[in-house]
Amino acid sequence: MNSFDYTGKTALVTGASSGMGREFARQLAARGAALILIARSEAKLQALAAELVRKHGVSVTVIVQDLAKSEAIPHIAARLETLRHYPDVLINCAGFATYGPFEKLSIDRQRDEINLNCLAPVELTHAMLPGMLQKGFGVIINVASTAAMQPDPYMAIYGATKAFLLSFSNALWGEYRSKGIRVLALCPGATDTAFFDVVNADEASVGKRMPADKVVAQALQAVDTNRNTLIAGFGNWLLGQLHRFVTRQRLVLIVEKILRPRSA
Ligand SMILES: NC(=O)c1ccc[n+]([C@@H]2O[C@H](COP(=O)([O-])OP(=O)(O)OC[C@H]3O[C@@H](n4cnc5c(N)ncnc54)[C@H](OP(=O)(O)O)[C@@H]3O)[C@@H](O)[C@H]2O)c1
């Protein structure tokens, strides 16, 4: 199948200030898309915007928002309405993880994690889909994780948010596939980004880290063929099949051993 044509399309990317989000912005700009970049770090977003304009001559809009806050999505929707920007491509990439015994992790931080990893993608998708349906064209990529494939002791909330995103994305793929909307759940394994600095624990990193540009290139290829799920990297794909061969109870015990904090 031919590569999908992003020329003249507008892509909204959350988490664009770093890691995979920044890489999505770069690869989509290289393929001719105008960009709407969202995260909290204004200086990083502005630096990326300048780079994309210089290298690819595309139009770039920066929106600084904390997506864990309930007012963020209505604010973004209103801003896009004022600018008359209606995204054809939505990349829900912003996200973070918490790691450690569940009861010791701050409940406020875990609430933010649920809001950012689950609610923000749901609300953004809900806000952007009608415009896509009107045009009969749209691409939505939700960045889940291999953590979605099984329950994750010591990352209980993170794993649950990513399982939510995987299920949500696959369901939308089923609903909208005949209406010109492509929905991909991207499930990266360990990827070389700032993610583990934010988690503040290398123990949460399983396997060799893939470069972010490779993961993003594979995701865009998966959109080309309208796949609904991509586990990036063969090793990650193999690990993601474990649930087919052992009971769910056994699976949790295996993952508990892998993720158990060294201090526990
Ligand atoms: N790296 C991995 O190993 C890995 C594996 C599987 C899945 N993932 C998923 O991949 C996605 C991207 O992560 P990454 O690896 O690229 O990590 P990253 O480099 O830490 O990027 C995270 C991005 O999310 C943004 N963000 C965090 N909190 C936010 C908030 N409250 N509001 C708005 N934006 C916020 C950050 O921007 P600001 O700080 O500027 O707001 C940053 O741009 C996440 O959903 C993560 O769960 C990562």
- CATH of residue 246's domain is 3.40.50.720
Which residues neighbour 145 within 8 Å (Cβ) at sequence distance 6 or greater? 158, 159, 162, 187, 188, 189
Whether 94 is in the pocket of ligand 1, judged by its Cβ within 6 Å, is yes
Phi, psi torsion values for 76, nearest 5 degrees: -65, -45
Taking the centre of ligand 1 as the mean of its atom positions, its distance from the CA of residue 166, in whole angstroms, is 16
Residue 241 lies in a domain: yes
| Mean pLDDT per 10-residue segment, the chain (264 residues) | 82 98 98 97 98 98 97 95 92 97 97 98 97 96 97 97 98 97 97 89 81 98 96 93 94 95 79
Residue 72 lies in a domain: yes
Domain that holds residue 226: 10-259
Residue 64 lies in a domain: yes
Residue 71 lies in a domain: yes
Query: Residue 40's closest CA among 53, 21, 60, 59?
Result: 21
Residue 4 lies in a domain: no
Ligand 1 atom nearest 144 alpha carbon: 7
Token duo for residue 130: 């009608």
Residue 5 lies in a domain: no
Partnered with residue 74 across adjacent β-strands are: none
Domains contained in the chain, number:
1
Residue 74 lies in a domain: yes
- List the 229-231 sheet strands across, edge first: 60-64, 34-39, 10-14, 89-92, 138-143, 181-187, 229-231
Whether 190 is in the pocket of ligand 1, judged by its Cβ within 6 Å, is yes
pLDDT of residue 117: 98
Q: What is the pTM of this model?
A: 0.97
Active-site residue set: 158
Whether 34 is in the pocket of ligand 1, judged by its Cβ within 6 Å, is no
pLDDT of residue 264: 67
Whether 121 is in the pocket of ligand 1, judged by its Cβ within 6 Å, is no
